[in-house]
Amino acid sequence: EPVLYIVATPIGNLADLSARAQEVLGSVDYIAAEDTRYSGRLLAHFTIKAPMISVHDHNERQRSEHIINLLAAGHSIALVSDAGTPLISDPGFHLVRAVREAGYRVSPVPGCCAFVAALSASGLPSDRFQFIGFLPAKSGARLQTLKPYAAHTETLIFYESTHRIVDSLAAMAEAFGGERYAVVARELTKTFETIHGDTLQNLLEWIQADSNQQRGEFVVLVHGAPASEQGDQIDPEAERILHILAKEMP
Ligand code: SAM
């Protein structure tokens, strides 16, 4: 049976490519990759040789047709992205939808995902969270995107790159308040892995003061708004009466 496998690849440390991922990548007829040169190096490291097909944001819809034709001809295909799990801030959604609609099996080979790794080591509440991914590049749009999340009580999770980490932390401090606690997880599984938590204002100052901390890949996790924020807003008059009543209590 032809299958489209969705294969997670490492986010830095090559040893994180699972045994099953190696087995599947070694057995498929084609490997569809976001960047064939970049993924080619990973595959070469594991001496995996399969013809590659490029599937990126700009050609995904056309390539989906081609891949469905290959499945129809009985070939199995693996989809990989540059790092981590395909479709998570990466291409693949249109392909997976089209392949499922065409009636072929899509099967995940799970593994690394930067935000799951970051959340698991952040110490922030992990029972409920919202993954927001990359923020818009323009400062106005960035702030507009952030503002509606200010009252959210679940952990908020963002992706960021070297170029915009300072601007994004500044925008978060503006949207959520400088006192909000957050964690910056940088270069996970790599040599300079850093996981640092503080208030947004202190994180901003810390990262501005050390240009080394501005390099690499980041997950930013922001503590949700306190759940009691709305509930605790007791009417001052009610509070005064409660105070009087409390004094009268035996
Ligand atoms: N598909 C990937 C996943 O499963 O996490 C995400 C791809 S997205 C294009 C790349 C972003 O993921 C980076 O800008 C960064 O925010 C995050 N990321 C990837 N690798 C990371 C790492 N080793 N440490 C921290 N963040 C990382």
**What secondary structure does DSSP assign to the chain, as a single string?**
--EEEEE-B-SS-GGGS-HHHHHHHHH-SEEEESSHHHHHHHHHHTT----EEE--TTTHHHHHHHHHHHHHTT--EEEE-SSBSTTSSSS-HHHHHHHHHTT-EEEEE----HHHHHHHHH-S--SSEEEEEEPPSSHHHHHHHHGGGTT--SEEEEEEEGGGHHHHHHHHHHHH-TTSEEEEEESTTSTT-EEEEEEHHHHHHHHHH-GGGGSSEEEEEEPPPPTHHHHT---HHHHHHHHHHHHH--
Determine the pLDDT at residue 14.
Answer: 96
Determine the pLDDT at residue 242.
Answer: 72
pLDDT in tens, 90-131: 999 999 999 999 999 999 999 999 999 999 999 999 999 999
Determine the pLDDT at residue 235.
Answer: 62
CA of 99 to the centre of ligand 1 (A): 25
In the chain, which residues have pLDDT < 70? 229-238, 250
Nearest to 23 by CA among 111, 106, 103, 93: 111
- Do residues 71 and 30 make contact, with C-beta atoms less than 8 angstroms apart? no
Considering all CA atoms of the chain, what is the largest pairwise distance in Å, rounded to the nearest integer? 84
Determine the pLDDT at residue 232.
Answer: 52
Q: Say what the ipTM of the complex is.
A: 0.99
Ligand 1 atom nearest residue 158's Cα:
16
Ligand 1 atom nearest residue 87's Cα:
1
Determine the pLDDT at residue 243.
Answer: 74
Mean pLDDT (the chain) is 94
Q: In the structure encoding, which two tokens stand for residue 7, read together?
A: 């294969």
Task: Determine the Cα–Cα distance for residues 95 and 33; give it in Å rounded to an integer.
Answer: 12
The dihedrals phi and psi of 171, each to the nearest 5 degrees, come to -65, -40
Q: In the structure encoding, which two tokens stand for residue 128, read together?
A: 């409920």
CA of 65 to the centre of ligand 1 (A): 28
Q: Which residues line ligand 1 (CB under 6 A)?
A: 11-12, 81, 83-85, 88-90, 113-115, 159-161, 185-190, 217-219
Determine the pLDDT at residue 203.
Answer: 98
CA of 114 to the centre of ligand 1 (A): 5
User: The pTM is what?
Assistant: 0.90
- Do residues 77 and 67 make contact, with C-beta atoms less than 8 angstroms apart? yes
